[in-house]
């Protein structure tokens, strides 16, 4: 049986479809498992997630969260992947992860002006550091990662407008 609802996380609305151990966020499927110690595994990556009223705490960072179209009960907890791996639509200025890896450095912040081709973050993958550059010049609209974050291929890391 599938459940469809909308999750608004940090002022971004995400359409969610939950079916068995698969959660689809904005059309992107994720395998989700909750371990006995309360961690949430999303495509094999562990996240510490707690819900406190209308706040989600993911890896120690707090985000405002609202769920519409789903009745939460003890038998139907909020699917954690929506909190663990927010998916952002990739606009023209989005800087994407070129492969799965770990963010080791972020060189920009929201509101900063950047030039096309300038580095915005560094992704470590397969024991190599990959500098990811701005695809266009403009102002940093959002930074979706911080050092230490594990990311998936094509995940939006930074938005520039």
Domains of the chain: 2-84 (no CATH), 95-160 (2.40.50.100)
Higher pLDDT, 88 or 52: 52
CB 40 within 8 A of CB 47: yes
pLDDT at 71: 59
Residues in Cβ contact with 56 at an 8 Å cutoff, skipping those fewer than 6 apart: 9, 49, 50, 62, 63, 64, 65, 83
pLDDT tens digit sequence for 110-146: 999 999 999 999 999 878 888 999 989 999 999 999 9
pLDDT at 13: 78
- Determine the Cα angle at 41 with ends 129 and 103, to 5°: 15
pLDDT tens digit sequence for 32-86: 887 777 677 877 777 777 777 677 777 677 778 887 876 554 444 444 444 444 4
């Amino acid at each position: 049986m599938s459940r469809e609802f909308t999750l608004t996380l940090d002022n971004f609305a995400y359409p969610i479809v939950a079916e068995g151990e698969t959660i689809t966020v904005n059309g992107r499927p994720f395998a989700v498992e909750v371990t006995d110690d309360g961690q949430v595994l999303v495509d094999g990556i562990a996240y510490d997630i707690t819900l406190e009223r209308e706040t989600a705490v993911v890896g120690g960072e707090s985000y405002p969260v609202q769920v519409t179209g789903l009745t939460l009960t003890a038998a139907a907890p909020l699917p954690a992947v929506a909190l663990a791996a927010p998916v952002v639509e990739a606009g023209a200025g989005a800087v994407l992860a070129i492969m799965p890896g770990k963010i080791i450095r972020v060189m920009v912040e929201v509101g900063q002006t950047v030039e096309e081709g300038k580095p915005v973050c560094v992704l470590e993958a397969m024991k190599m550091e990959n500098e990811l550059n701005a695809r266009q010049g403009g102002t940093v609209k959002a930074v979706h990662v911080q050092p230490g974050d594990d990311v998936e291929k094509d995940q939006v890391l930074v938005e520039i407008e």
